Amino acid sequence: MELQGMRACRKEKRMFREIAESNAANLMKNAYPGRGIVLGATQDGTRLAQIYWIMGRSQNSRNRVFQEESGFVRTKAFDESKLTDPSLIIYYPVKHYKDFHVVSNGDQTDTVMEFVKAGRTWNDALMTREFEPDAPNFTPRITGVIDLKAQWAYALSILKSQDGDGRHCLRHFYYYEKPVPGYGHCIHTYKGDGSPLPSFAGEPYLMPVPGDASEACRYYWSLLNEENRISLLAKYIDIKTGEFEICIINRHGA
């Protein structure tokens, strides 16, 4: 029985590896997945990871960098003289409050933090928001949260239009109770390039979680389309202590 259990465990590990590697290869082939989030756990199970990237096709979207501010991360214009419309591109993708850590692709980060600080839930916060007002794309709002005091390990959400119809918003929430060591789940704004841009479809998919933040940055940066990638960050949170490290790669600058 013990030998059978070991074989089953090896088979399961191989299955996870094959699925994640296949998904990583597909992401590498995707010229424009847009903004993306990966949440998961390290192989040793001691840390939870938040990985987030932004991409851009226009000059305004490409004129951005990530900048850390006292444990938070914000987007800012690389060249202020070229900034034309900051409304949907300048925001805090990463914030935390006590044991609650949020990452998102827009100013819903602030909405979530306001609700959590008031003793309400992040779900309640996102019920007040919808996709971005950038017709005809209606870019989805994606959000990932880690609450070290919760029963679940991490959760993801996407707010998207119904089949490109700007009159209807679909709100999906995904909770992951037990992380798979060394893996996480990925969600991004678009299925790929197009006009209008097609929204992400289906459930978040399995992806690798490297051993530390700097390795995660290098790995995911290598997967993203070289022409369209702009900035990427990895935040690794110690499950026991709540301490974290943040690594950032910017197309412009360091």
Averaged pLDDT, 161-189:
96
- Boundaries of domain holding 64: 2-250
According to the model, what pLDDT value does residue 253 have? 79
Query: What are 137-150's pLDDT values in tens digits?
Result: 999 999 999 999 99
pTM of the model: 0.95
- Encode burial over 151-181: b for 16+ CB neighbours within 10 A, e otherwise: eebbbbbbbbbeeeeeeebeeeeeebeebbe
3-class DSSP state of 151 = coil
pLDDT digits (tens, 9 = 90+) for 89-138: 899 999 999 999 999 999 999 999 999 999 999 999 999 999 999 999 99
How buried is 195 (Cβ within 10 angstroms: 0-12 exposed, 13-18 middle, 19+ buried)? exposed
CA distances, 39 to each of 50, 105, 234 (Å): 5, 14, 10
Contact call for residues 15 and 203 (beta carbons, < 8 A): no
Q: Is residue 165 classed as helix, strand or coil in its secondary structure?
A: strand
Lowest mean pLDDT among 2-11, 132-141, 222-231: 2-11
**Amino acid letter for position 162:** Q
Q: How is residue 194 written in tokens?
A: 């197009």
Helix axes 213-223, 2-29, angle to 10 degrees: 50
The H or E element that residue 175 is part of is strand 165-176
CATH code of 148's domain = 3.60.20.20
Radius of gyration of the chain (CA): 18
Q: List the Cα angle 107/108/114 in 5-degree steps.
A: 105
pLDDT tens for residues 23-72?
999 999 999 999 999 999 999 999 999 999 999 998 888 999 999 999 99
Beta strands 100-104 and 94-97, pairing class: antiparallel
Portion of the chain with pLDDT greater than 70, in percent: 96
Across all residues in the chain, what is the average pLDDT? Answer: 94
Residue 84 — pLDDT band, cuts 50, 70, 90? confident
Residue 160 has pLDDT above 70, yes or no: yes
Number of domains forming the structure of the chain: 1
Give the tokens for residue 52. 């987030």
CB-based contact 114:89 (threshold 8 Å):
no
Question: For residues 212 and 241, what is the distance between their CA atoms, to the nearest angstrom?
Answer: 16
